[in-house]
Amino acid sequence: MGNKLAPLDQTQLTIKVREMVLKGYRTKDIYTYTKEHWSIEKRQTDRYIKEAHAAFLQIDKRTKEQLRSKYRERLEMMFHEALITKGDLRLALSMQCELNKLLNLYQDDLEATPPPVTLVFQTRGNQ
pLDDT one-digit tens code per residue, 17-42: 999 998 999 999 999 999 999 899 99
Q: Where are the domains of the chain?
A: 7-104
Evaluate the CA torsion angle 21, 23, 24, 27 in order and state its sign: negative
Over the stretch 37-67, which tens digit does the pLDDT of each residue have? 989 999 999 999 999 999 888 888 888 888 8
Confidence (pLDDT) at 10: 83
DSSP 76-102: HHHHHIIIIIS--HHHHHHHHHHHHHH
Angle formed by the axes of helices 7-22 and 27-38, to 10°? 150
Q: How far apart are CA 101 and CA 119, in angstroms?
A: 31
Over the stretch 77-107, which tens digit does the pLDDT of each residue have? 988 898 888 988 898 888 888 888 888 887 7
